Amino acid sequence: MAKFIEKLGTVDRRVIFLLMALAVILPLAFRMNLPIPIEEGPSKDLYDAIEALPPGSRVLLSFDYDPSTMPELQPMAVALAQHLMTKDIKIVSMALWPMGVSLGNEALTMVGDSLGREEYVDWVNLGYKTGGGVLIVRMGSNIQTVFPNDYDGNPIADMPVMEGVNKLGDFDMIISLSAGDPGIPAWVMMAGDRFNIPIGGGCTAVSAPQFYPYLGTGQMVGLLGGLKGAADYETMVRLEEDDAAPGTATPGMAAQSVAHLVIMLFIIIGNIAYLSTKQKKGGLR
Amino acid sequence: MMKTLVVLSLLLTAGGALAQGGEGLIECFTAQDAPNDAGGGIDLVWTLSLDAVPPDSIVLERKDGDGGWHSIAALAPLSGRKTDNELENGVEYSYRLVPYYGGIAQEPSAEVSAVPGKQWIHSGRVGMLVILTLICIIIMYFIEQGKRGKELFIRRIAGLTAVEDAVGRATEMGRPVLYIPGIMDMDDIQTIASMVILGRVAARTAEYGSPLVVPTCRSVVMSVAQEVVKASYIQAGRPDAFIKENISYLTDDQFGYAAGVDGIMVRERPAAIFMLGTFYAESLILAETGRSVGAIQIAGTAMPSQIPFFVAACDYTLIGEELFAASAYLSKEPKLLGSLRGQDVAKLFFMVVITLGVIAATVGEAWEPAARVAEFLRTITNVE
Amino acid sequence: MRLAIPLTITFVAGMIMILQFFVPATQSLGESLQEWYMIVASFAIFLGAMNLITVHVHKIRFRAKNWKYSPVTIAGFAAMVLTGLFMGIETGRPFDFMFTTMMVPMGATMFSLLAFFVASAAFRAFRASNWRATLLLASAFIVMLGRVPIGSMIWNRIPLVSEWIMQVPNLAGQRAVMIGAAMGMVATSLRMIFGIERSYLGGTD
């Protein structure tokens, strides 16, 4: 028995990989669904902050991620777009990451078409420009000098959605879906602190802990952290809108739940083996 | 008769509302130079009377040079503020508000004037300026102390002490040293700190004769890395051992880079891997692959979210500011040690301010003087 | 002398950026420098592309180690650049097709490796070797359960406890690391602006 426990502590990592793969695939294959309870927290704070915006408000949505983090952040983009467009809030989108533009366009086009929202009237995609924090500061004084045209090359000056929006301070909120740098910290420091604009965010689960200080000080109004944050938001949006399209984050929560349980199981097995070995060595002494 | 009286009262009320335009409607309207700007801006603030019937809209007008008025903005019929920009400094500008009821302009408000100008000190950042000056003085003082030869203690940092052992191990095993400077560009301070450490590591590999491989994620970083390594090899008297092709650019894409570096690890099987700089999600992929090839790994980053992964998967981890202390630690240069000491003293200052602030804010809930101290500390540390 | 010019540029640029933060009247200087930065950063993209081509052509020409992968790299690079430049990048074009069917799944696949590596790293490294490690392990379990719906199914307070861990001890630790790292950045930046730290330029005096 002792030898078996010791062997467990040195199990080949390929066994771990295999079990993890099964833990993720099986719940998705069997369409396992778990109820998503809505609790007070950063996800609800962001939802409430957007709910408080009156129709006709203008929100800047920045897609600061790339395809590798799409599984976590794209569901957030879709859910946010649904919420904003349903409330008749105008969306001006852009990206600080080059590949974020297409991903953002995909989300906005899909949601816009499903809700009958018109491009250039209800939303517009300004595209990508290099520069990160420097770009944000430049937008603080004049957006048109930074983005004279939108993603498709059309001048933004005469677009109805851009009416009255000349600089960052004209937005009612900025939301950054961020997978790294440039991302949320740049928006908080260069836009939120400088121009006093409410900042919301969405990020990968691994980055979420580092943004809690901004939530604590009120520099951010809310945060969607990882797939859980996306699933929370999808659930909250669906509660309000009966015909909202189902998201992709909610089904993923079952797989994530099982995966977490598998990891915890491995940690427990590893510790049992470790403590048994330690005890054995202690006994020999 | 009743009907006539009702119609008459309605007319009187409407007339009264119409007559409320301008002076009566707008309780307060001020214009002043926009603060803390480079000039050319005037802040306009107005408050509407709560007793008056709100208009359909309000038009903001500015007086021309020839004395005529022209509209510059249509505003919502609410109290509010607006900044008029791109004005000429030193020239007086006059404004008025014109309320509209049913599309008809009413009596405009009283005229207000202001002169835009530039400010030479940002009033919302004075506290930060004082703090920054204080920090600079502290750091410069200790640099001077270092230059004068004063003994400055620095505690042992295991990860940096292990650099020499790691390179030695690679030499014994006849395998290369792999140095990964993070995935960000040269404008990132961690990448710059990484380049500094690369210079020291390159000096060691030049001395011991181990190959040094440096795959980079940005082309500018590649250029800088080539210069840094070349300089180290020349200084170590081994210019012949410098191989430019070992310092290459892979790709800007985060996971493309991770895949490329993993490939290098699995093919070249380095004996020592240094991961120092800015890392994101690829940190664990790199660290686990490095572990699987049996390399000794020294990692360092100031990214709080990646530190746990490095701690779990690497032999040594430099946490946060230990990365920035590395250049001073490895070189033992007095000036650099002095700046490190100054940085620590500045940190001590902040710790005192935070402790004072927390106590003041907590006690201030019940005792007014403490609340004032907390408010003062908030004001000086706030940046607009 | 070789270092004098870059050091001077570093000093002047650093001082301008500090100055424009505190002196509003000099904001236009800072804005000009920021525009210069954006232009230079855009050119760096070309530098990277040129280097990529040069390195791989060199590998093919001299049949260097693993040279057979280089034509694949160059072909992929050419395919994306040429289709994007001459056929556009709108939805439905070849560039967009290659992006959505190749780049997106490949990027997501690499990111997905983390799930496996987290499991193997956790199994190997998370040991309750002393009371601090045990406390860390217990917190990790609570947070892992709190971040998925199963946590609230086990006990409805787990998400609350998990959120408390994130908002109190985690926040304190994150702040400490951030402040320490920020101090390190300030000191390093000052050293570079004043020319005390020069090794990043490739050598000392």
The reply to whether A27 and A87 lie within a common domain is: no
The reply to whether A280 and A140 lie within a common domain is: no
Select the CATH number that applies to the domain covering B152-332 from these four: 3.30.2000, 1.10.20, 3.40.50, 3.30.70.
Answer: 3.40.50
Of A181-190, B195-204, C24-33, give the lowest mean pLDDT range. C24-33
Question: Residue B23's pLDDT is what?
Answer: 55
Structure tokens that stand for A268 in this block: 């427990």
Question: Residue C34's pLDDT is what?
Answer: 80
> Is residue A83 included in any domain, yes or no?
yes
pLDDT grade for B20, boundaries at 50, 70 and 90: very low
The reply to whether A240 and A259 lie within a common domain is: no
Confidence (pTM): 0.81
Question: Residue A20's pLDDT is what?
Answer: 94
Question: Residue A246's pLDDT is what?
Answer: 64
Residue range B318-330: average pLDDT? 86
Q: For chain C, which ranges sit under pLDDT 70?
A: 1, 202-205
Average confidence score pLDDT of chain B: 88
The reply to whether A129 and A216 lie within a common domain is: yes
In 3D space, the residue among A124, A216, A234, A225 whose CA is nearest the CA of residue A179 turns out to be A225
Q: How many contacts does B have with C, using Cβ atoms within 8 A?
A: 176
| pLDDT for B383 beyond 50 | yes
The secondary structure of chain B in percent helix, strand, coil, rounded to multiples of 5, reads 50, 20, 30
> Is residue A36 included in any domain, yes or no?
no
> Is residue A37 included in any domain, yes or no?
no
Query: What is the predicted ipTM?
Result: 0.83
User: How far is CA A12 from each of CA A3, A77, B309, C122, rounded to the nearest angstrom?
Assistant: 16, 39, 20, 14
**Nearest CB to A212 within list C103, C105, C171:** C171
Question: Residue B18's pLDDT is what?
Answer: 43
| pLDDT for B301 beyond 90 | yes
φ, ψ of residue C155 in degrees (nearest 5): -155, 125
Question: Residue C174's pLDDT is what?
Answer: 86
pLDDT grade for A282, boundaries at 50, 70 and 90: low
How wide is the angle at C-alpha C171 spanned by C-alphas C168 and C176, nearest 5°? 125
**Cβ B188–A204 below 8 Å, yes or no?**
no
CATH number reported for the structural domain that contains residue A129 in this entry: 3.40.50.1220
**Cβ B227–C114 below 8 Å, yes or no?**
no
**Cβ A204–B281 below 8 Å, yes or no?**
yes
Per-residue pLDDT of A114-157, as tens digits, reads: 999 999 999 999 999 888 888 898 898 889 888 999 988 899 98
**Chains with 3 or more CB pairs closer than 8 angstroms to C?**
A, B
The reply to whether A146 and A22 lie within a common domain is: no
Q: Which residue's entry shows tokens 């001590």? A: B348
- Residue-number span of the structural domain to which A13 is assigned: 2-31+254-284
The reply to whether A163 and A262 lie within a common domain is: no
What CATH architecture is B22-114? Sandwich (2.60)
The reply to whether A96 and A13 lie within a common domain is: no
**Cβ B304–A209 below 8 Å, yes or no?**
yes
**Cβ A68–B304 below 8 Å, yes or no?**
no
**Nearest CB to B304 within list C118, C126, C177:** C177
Per-residue pLDDT of A44-93, as tens digits, reads: 999 999 999 999 999 999 999 988 888 899 999 999 999 999 999 999 99
Write down the domain spans for chain B: 22-114, 123-140+336-381, 152-332
The reply to whether A101 and A219 lie within a common domain is: yes
- How many domains are contained in chain A? 2
**What is the secondary structure of A50-91 as a DSSP string?**
HHTSPTT-EEEEEEE--GGGHHHHHHHHHHHHHHHHHTT-EE
| pLDDT for A285 beyond 50 | no
| pLDDT for B185 beyond 80 | yes
Question: Residue B17's pLDDT is what?
Answer: 43
- What's the gap in Å between the CA of A117 and the closest CA on chain B? 25
- What's the gap in Å between the CA of B80 and the closest CA on chain C? 25
Question: Residue C84's pLDDT is what?
Answer: 92
The reply to whether A124 and A262 lie within a common domain is: no
The reply to whether A140 and A49 lie within a common domain is: yes
| pLDDT for A213 beyond 70 | yes
Q: Strand B26-33 and strand A222-225: pairing?
A: unpaired
pLDDT grade for B242, boundaries at 50, 70 and 90: very high
Of A77-91, B232-246, B332-346, C142-156, give the lowest mean pLDDT range. B332-346
| pLDDT for A245 beyond 60 | no
DSSP C201: G
> Is residue A85 included in any domain, yes or no?
yes
| Cβ neighbours of A249 in C, within 8 Å | none
How wide is the angle at C-alpha B13 spanned by C-alphas B10 and B14, nearest 5°? 85
Per-residue pLDDT of B29-64, as tens digits, reads: 999 999 888 888 999 999 988 888 888 888 999 998
- What's the gap in Å between the CA of C7 and the closest CA on chain A? 22
